[in-house]
Structure 1
């Protein structure tokens, strides 16, 4: 009877520890519908890192001095300030990158945006932005990781990036365009 009591106690402690320590991966990303909400957007949970248009303007404005330094002293001509991809291209890329990551033995957990410049033989090339998949290596055996608390992964080696977004119009235009 004493061993049975210890078994029940262990199950209860394990259940509580799991409930409080393991991130809820089954949690719905869609909030319960609000009776006063008139649009679908009011029912979708906002992503982490969402900023207001005023915050976007402040970030863009803070970049002006750095951009002027690059354009005037290094590139010596107006340079790109932004990149644009269609919604369809972004959705297709995310699906493609996730499938490619699986084939490479990784679980994709996000994307990283890099600044780059097109190489030229005679001068510094125009600035571009490109996206690469990030994730962590799949383990074929048991993991010693504490529950499911893995940190976000790094860039996936061999994963295809997305480039060739359209530049802003004009390329040196500030936010908003």
Structure 2
């Protein structure tokens, strides 16, 4: 009976310890707002302007080329998506990645162009695709040396961002 009492006491103490260890809501014990960590790659607005201006020559070549004449203000230089659309796309892409056997770990933005319609060249667009790693093992002894994530094959992308005003406007708009 003495051993049974100690066993029961051990179970109760263990359950209490696990409750406080696993189920303690950290957000209720912290004071103040959560810490915001800036992601890698953050640039200042001044650097964004430098990058945008450095693209001017390429944009001019595209707009001035014989096959790219446009009467509606030139080719696009930017795309805009609502935060809600981006969040919904991330949720959709993570779900689809799981269905396709991947673990999504990022997004890649591509430059593209709409096809020629009625002899009029299509304008530049930007679209976003999810990237990730296959959930299947590929047998490497050094998985961290395999490089960055690739595009998730067969996954949907996000397009139909809104162009700048006018389409060829520089940063900031």
What is the TM-score when the length of structure 2 is the normalising length?
0.73
Alignment-derived partner of residue 129 in structure 1: 126
Alpha-carbon offset, residue 72 of structure 1:
1.2
Alignment-derived partner of residue 27 in structure 1: none
**Residues 109 and 152, structure 1, Cα contact 8 Å, conserved in 2:** no
Report the Cα distance in structure 2 between the residues aligned to 1:135 and 1:107, rounded to whole angstroms: 5
Alpha-carbon offset, residue 143 of structure 1:
4.9
What is the TM-score when the length of structure 1 is the normalising length?
0.71
Is 1:76 the equivalent of 2:76?
A: no
Alignment-derived partner of residue 97 in structure 2: 101
Q: Which runs of 5+ in 2 are unaligned?
A: 1-29
Alpha-carbon offset, residue 118 of structure 1:
0.7
Partner of residue 156 from structure 1, selected from 149, 152, 155: 152
Alignment-derived partner of residue 51 in structure 2: 59
Partner of residue 91 from structure 1, selected from 81, 87, 92: 87
**What number of residue pairs does the alignment pair up?**
139
Report the Cα distance in structure 1 between the residues aligned to 2:141 and 2:86, rounded to whole angstroms: 32
Alpha-carbon offset, residue 151 of structure 1:
3.1
Considering only CA atoms, is the larger Rg found in Structure 1 or Structure 2? 2
| Residue deviations 1:116-167 (CA, integer Å, cap 9, x gap) | 111123132011000011111102x695443766532111110000000000
| Mapping for residues 2-21 of structure 1, pairs under 5 Å | none
Report the Cα distance in structure 2 between the residues aligned to 1:104 and 1:90, rounded to whole angstroms: 20
